[in-house]
């Protein structure tokens, strides 16, 4: 069985409260050897750290752009302290999830940019890569990355080919997940198929971004069918779709995506030392 790395999984989310440990065990049984658990605000720093240690996974600390409305400037100081305190924790692999979101209406763009730029600075100061949220914001993200050169992963990438190449040029890997399983997601599928294999990592963004076999339309939800909950155990099936798009063997994809994740997040490499396809 191939060994997979889920580079983005919110296992601490309330959707998993009833069966969190069982979810992680299902993923392990499916071949998901390692999950990276990014924080979204100061309130879940402890949760992602404890879960990573409990399950032998890794974590990132940061303030998500969707949480900037309620975040305080003092939270940046708290993040700075948390990163310093975890300096010797081998399971801390990045600053994240940070970034910009220009899809959700009524978010203060200037406040998002302030938190994003400050967190890039913290990542640089602490010598850590970043996990970046990209939603209708690639150009603005890239502008700051040219000013503060850190590396990492562009999570759930959905930009243009030009933007993809620029992220790669700046030392980023691009995260692909459930979106590529939809036949109508032409741009994402084209990027996933045509970009260099060395640019790609795999993710679920669990419990979000369900693959097509879990997705329910608005009409179906109104009819009483609940939206399918994404889990890290879905990663091998998502990866099989990507392997099909690229015309390659899944074991080869698993090995490449593991190597790419370790290159993007160097602290991950020792944690994956015993992982093999």
Q: CA 13, 16, 17, 22 torsion: positive or negative?
A: negative
pLDDT of residue 199: 98
Q: CA 157, 56, 253, 263 torsion: positive or negative?
A: positive
Nearest-5° angle of CA 153, CA 156, CA 158? 110
Architecture in CATH of 4-268: Alpha-Beta Barrel (3.20)
Q: Is the pLDDT of residue 257 over 50?
A: yes
Banded model confidence at residue 121, pLDDT cuts 50, 70, 90:
very high
pLDDT of residue 276: 67
Kind of pairing, strands 58-61 and 32-38?
A: parallel
Spatial distance between the Cα atoms of 61 and 98, rounded to a whole number of angstroms: 9
Q: CA 189, 205, 114, 262 torsion: positive or negative?
A: negative
Structural domain boundaries of the chain? 4-268
Spatial distance between the Cα atoms of 114 and 73, rounded to a whole number of angstroms: 9
Report the 10 Å Cβ neighbour count for 211: 20
pLDDT of residue 277: 47
Tokens found for residue 231: 């889990």
Tokens found for residue 41: 């605000």
The string over 3-29, giving b where at least 16 C-beta atoms fall within 10 Å of a residue's C-beta and e elsewhere, is bbbbbbbbbbbebbeeebeebbeebbe
- Residue 137 near residue 102, CB atoms below 8 Å: yes
Spatial distance between the Cα atoms of 172 and 22, rounded to a whole number of angstroms: 32
- Interval 82-119: pLDDT, tens: 999 999 999 999 999 999 999 999 999 999 999 999 99
Q: Is the pLDDT of residue 264 over 50?
A: yes
- Interval 172-231: pLDDT, tens: 999 999 999 999 999 999 999 999 999 999 999 999 999 999 987 777 776 766 778 999
Cβ neighbours of residue 217 under 8 Å, at least 6 residues apart?
A: none
pLDDT of residue 216: 79
Cβ neighbours of residue 233 under 8 Å, at least 6 residues apart?
A: 23, 26, 27, 29, 30, 32
pTM score, whole prediction: 0.96
- Interval 23-66: pLDDT, tens: 999 999 999 999 999 999 999 999 999 999 999 999 999 999 99
pLDDT of residue 211: 97
Helix (H) or strand (E) holding 258: helix 250-264
Spatial distance between the Cα atoms of 195 and 86, rounded to a whole number of angstroms: 35
Tell me which residue of 56, 31, 9 sits closest to 250, measured CA to CA: 31
């Amino acid at each position: 069985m191939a060994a997979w790395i889920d580079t983005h999984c919110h296992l601490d989310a309330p959707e998993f409260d009833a069966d969190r440990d069982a979810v992680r065990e299902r993923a392990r049984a499916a071949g998901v050897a390692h999950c990276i658990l990014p924080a979204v605000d100061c309130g879940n720093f402890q949760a992602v750290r404890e879960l990573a240690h409990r399950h032998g996974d890794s974590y990132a600390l940061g303030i998500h752009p969707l949480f900037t409305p309620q975040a305080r400037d003092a939270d940046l100081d708290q993040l700075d302290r948390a990163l310093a305190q975890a300096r010797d924790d081998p399971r801390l692999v990045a600053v994240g999830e940070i970034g910009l979101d220009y899809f959700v209406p009524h978010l203060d763009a200037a406040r998002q940019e302030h938190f994003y730029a400050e967190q890039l600075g913290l990542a640089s100061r602490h010598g850590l890569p970043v996990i970046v949220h990209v939603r209708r914001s690639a150009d603005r993200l890239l502008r700051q990355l040219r000013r503060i050169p850190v590396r990492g992963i562009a999570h759930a990438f959905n930009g243009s080919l030009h933007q993809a190449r620029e992220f790669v040029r700046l030392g980023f890997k691009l995260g692909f997940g459930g979106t590529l399983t939809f036949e109508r997601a032409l741009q994402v599928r084209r990027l996933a198929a045509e970009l260099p294999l060395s640019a790609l990592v795999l993710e679920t963004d669990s419990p979000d971004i369900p693959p097509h076999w879990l997705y329910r339309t608005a009409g179906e939800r109104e009819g009483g069918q609940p939206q399918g909950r994404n889990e890290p155990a879905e990663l091998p099936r998502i990866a099989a779709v990507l392997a099909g798009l690229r015309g390659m063997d899944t074991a080869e994809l698993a090995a490449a995506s593991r190597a790419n994740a370790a290159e993007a997040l160097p602290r991950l490499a020792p944690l994956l030392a015993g992982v093999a396809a």
